[in-house]
């Protein structure tokens, strides 16, 4: 009896299937017979990363810094809190678009856990303040932000102004100068 001959294309397909079957069996047996023994489990916390498992690992806590400063009513627009310039409490301070803190009764604020690098600082003062400055060389709208480069603990004081042409002295100084002028004028009128 004679066996019918298989065509060349059928023999090629059968050969390919045998090779694929052997390859899959070899890969599967490798994973079944050689399980991984150096698996690690990582638990991440805000400051420390803990690694457990069979392989030793050294992990240092992430270094963070503190950003602090004062926000005050800057009568003369020089960016420094002079005598008689009051602190502005309850001003929200945002770092990178996240409301981090707000000023206390003395105008001070502190943002902790600040990473090293460049950050965007923006304040949200009461509506009567339209400008802020850090020195007498510049002023900007309260809707803008400051770019701060943090490499260590940093201090950023900001003066709030009602307008860019602020009074060069406080209201108290204005009242005392007006009273001096009235006293001098009354002295000239005396016979």
- pLDDT (tens digit per residue) in 7-37: 788 888 998 999 998 988 887 877 777 766 5
Give the residue, 2 or 128, on which the prediction is more confident: 128
Residue 5 lies in a domain: no
Q: Is 36 left (phi over 0), alpha (psi -120 to 50) or beta?
A: beta
Q: Confirm whether 180 is domain-assigned.
A: no
Percent with pLDDT over 90 in the chain: 8
Residue 160's domain is classified under what CATH number? 2.60.40.10
Task: Please report whether residue 177 resides in a domain.
Answer: no
SS (H, E, C) the chain: CCCCCCCHHHHHHHHHHHHHHHHHHHHHHHHHHCCCCCCEEEEECCCCEEEEECCCCCCCCCCCEEEEEEEEECCCCCCCCCCCCCECCCCEEEECCEEEEECCCCCEEEEEEECCEEEEEEEECCCCCCEEEEECCEEEECCCCEEEEECCCEECCEEEECCCCCCCCCHHHHHHHHHHHHHHHHHHHCC
- Total of domains in the chain: 1
Q: Which residue has the higher pLDDT, 51 or 62?
A: 62
9 located within any domain: no
Mean pLDDT of 124-153: 86
Q: Regarding predicted confidence, which is higher, 17 or 50?
A: 17
17 within domain boundaries? no
Residue 110 lies in a domain: yes
1 lies in a domain?
A: no
Average pLDDT, the chain: 76
Domain span holding position 129: 65-164
Q: Is residue 158 part of a domain?
A: yes
- Mean pLDDT over residues 36-47, rounded? 56
């Amino acid at each position: 009896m004679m066996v019918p001959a298989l065509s060349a294309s059928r023999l090629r397909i059968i050969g390919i299937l045998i090779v694929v079957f052997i390859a899959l069996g070899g890969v599967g047996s490798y994973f079944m017979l050689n399980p991984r023994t150096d698996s690690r489990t990582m638990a991440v916390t805000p400051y420390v990363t803990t690694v457990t498992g069979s392989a030793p690992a050294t992990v240092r806590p992430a270094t963070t810094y503190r950003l602090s400063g004062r926000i005050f009513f800057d009568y003369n627009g020089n960016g420094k809190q002079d005598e008689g310039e009051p602190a502005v409490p309850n001003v929200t301070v945002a770092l990178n678009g996240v409301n981090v803190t707000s000023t206390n009764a003395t105008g001070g604020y502190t943002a902790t856990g600040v990473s090293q690098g460049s950050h965007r600082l923006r304040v949200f003062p009461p509506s009567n303040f339209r400008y802020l400055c850090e020195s007498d060389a510049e002023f900007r709208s309260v809707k803008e932000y400051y770019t701060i480069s943090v490499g260590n603990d940093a201090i950023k004081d900001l003066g709030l102004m009602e307008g860019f042409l602020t009074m060069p002295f406080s209201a108290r100084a204005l009242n005392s100068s007006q009273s001096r002028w009235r006293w001098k004028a009354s002295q000239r009128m005396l016979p």
